[in-house]
Amino acid sequence: MQPEIQAPSKADIEAWSGQLQGIGEEYRALMEVLLERMVPSDAADSIHGDMRESFKAGAEALARNPPLLWQVQSRLLQDQFQLWQQGLRLMAGEEVEPLVSPERGDRRFKDEAWTQDPNYRCILQQYLLFSRTVEELIDNLDNMDPDRKRNLVFYARQMVSAMSPTNFASTNPEVMRKTLETRGENLIEGMARLREDLANSAEGLNVTMTDRSAFTIGENIAVTPGSVVFENELIQLVQYTPSTEQTFKTPLLIVPPWINKYYILDLRQDNSLVKWLVDQGHTVFLISWRNPGPEQRDLSWSDYMQMGPIEAMGAIEQATGEKSVNLVSYCIGGTLAASTVAYLTSTRRGRKVKSVTYMATLQDFRDPGEIGVFLSEPVLQGIEAKLEEDGYLDGRVLAYSFNLMRENDLFWSFYINNYLKNDMPAPFDLLYWNTDGTNLPAGTHGWYLRNMYMENRLVEPGGIELDGVKIDLRKISTPSYFISTHDDHIAKWNSTYYGALLPKGPVTFVLGGSGHIAGIVNPPYKNKYGYWTNDELPETADQWLEGAERHDGSWWPHWQQWITANGYADSENMVPARQPGDGELSIIEPAPGRYVRMTIPEVLGGAPDPAES
């Protein structure tokens, strides 16, 4: 006998009616925000055009290969028939192994309804079959331009990920339960939060990833003690307070990326590379880059070099009396460091850098990975037009683009939790840093994209000219230490490897485990990920890895051994610990300083709205 279904009471009907009215009001408000953002910029329009061209090229390649289309369609038809048969067996109460399962590590379908409820199980199976079909179809398109195929793979993956049943309230079991429990309140409040996030985004949608109110820079994040001892229009130079009685004679200068704030290297005391370096006896200086706005539109790569590491070296000489430094650089900061060392070499000042370390750094841009999707000629022209119009690239646009490279983890998961389930994100320092973006000056960023990513001119002898000086990475005799990470999707390790083949001086290349952040910020006490070493530098990255030896734990102690064993930090020539303000430079303010606290809304507060100009 079927259980009796109780009709909803009058109170239930009235409650749901009120909630539906609230959902309608929030939906209208959301549509108003979306309509205001309907006109794309030159950059967004160029990406849309590239997407259309990529799908067109894929369709043309498929038309030239009819057997592939027939093969894929036949397999899909067979899969659909098997799925129908499984459905009948499930309805009969039979246990049936799924026809296709999510990949290991795919957290979208962890709810038991996807395996226990026949309806959701069927939805999941249909989606996974569709996803597999698209992936295999594109993978077997052999008669396409490699760059165009790479773009097609990226755009198709975005489409398939967006169509996941987890992204829709009616096909997500967790969202449906929450909606029934709260009478739709989760959708009302979720849409309101979506409207707020859209208003705080530049282009695309910057989802809220963490409870930003839980962190304050200088209080519970970026807290290693120190002082700002020098500043100019572009940088503040932080000198950290020593924690040892004696320090190495040669100071250490960290050149972080300016695409994000420096404190990824100083999140907490237990995972801070800055603190660890101080505790090893280094006199640590660090560049804190300014968050630029329209007023800094004309800053060039040469300006970043001169006002960044070169002026910082001059300030360090005033603070310590030392004429040379050990450079440690990260990501685009490493690309600048390589440019700087090459420039100093060409101007006969190469001895100002005793050693240079490149963390996850591209110098040879022959294979930039998925970032190359955004750097085809039409897309780059759109970006250049946007840079010319605004004078800067809004850091939130760049963050949105990077998040799409891990769309299910860094976009859709937050979309579901924030806007469909209305779950508040938990405090997480790494995600706080990830959403604390910086703008990029037009004069620097456009030049960097075209000369480095598009034309790969940094590896050409004399291909880059800085302040009238043609530079050549092959002339660098400064000892170099390269640390890259195996799963890096920003600076692919097998691309960074080719940068290690350029200098004529001694080079050590090390490969860490994990990705762009976790593989670099890997404190020894965690004993995680491991790393590979190889004393040889063969012609290809694959050959290097074949002959490499794996080690447990963090690469940090290996780096410390390298810099001390070679005398770049001389353990036999220690000096009394240097306090900020002891030399010729006075303390300007306590670390972390003003520049790192500058947010994008604050920087752009006085800037006109581009949509109104």
The residues annotated as belonging to the active site are 331
Q: Are the beta carbons of 596 and 217 closer than 8 angstroms?
A: yes
Using alpha carbons, select from 280, 304, 165 the residue that is nearest to residue 232: 304
Q: Are the beta carbons of 222 and 267 closer than 8 angstroms?
A: yes
Residues in Cβ contact with 422 at an 8 Å cutoff, skipping those fewer than 6 apart:
178, 182, 185, 186, 187, 189, 190, 193
Using alpha carbons, select from 151, 241, 80, 134 the residue that is nearest to residue 580: 241
- Rounded CA-CA distance 216/219 in Å is 5
Q: Are the beta carbons of 511 and 484 closer than 8 angstroms?
A: yes
Q: Are the beta carbons of 23 and 169 closer than 8 angstroms?
A: no
Q: Where are the beta strands (DSSP E) in 182-339?
A: 226-231, 235-240, 246-248, 252-255, 284-289, 325-330
Residues in Cβ contact with 553 at an 8 Å cutoff, skipping those fewer than 6 apart:
524, 527, 528, 530, 531
Q: How many helices (H) and strands (E) does the chain have?
A: 22, 17
DSSP 238: E
- Rounded CA-CA distance 40/42 in Å is 7
Q: Are the beta carbons of 368 and 375 closer than 8 angstroms?
A: yes
Question: Which three-class secondary structure state does DSSP give residue 168?
Answer: coil
The token pair at 12 is: 């239930």
The token pair at 404 is: 């799409």
Cis ω for the linkage preceding 557 (within 30 of 0): no
Q: In angstroms, what CA-CA distances link 185 with 28, 188, 216, 420?
A: 16, 5, 31, 10
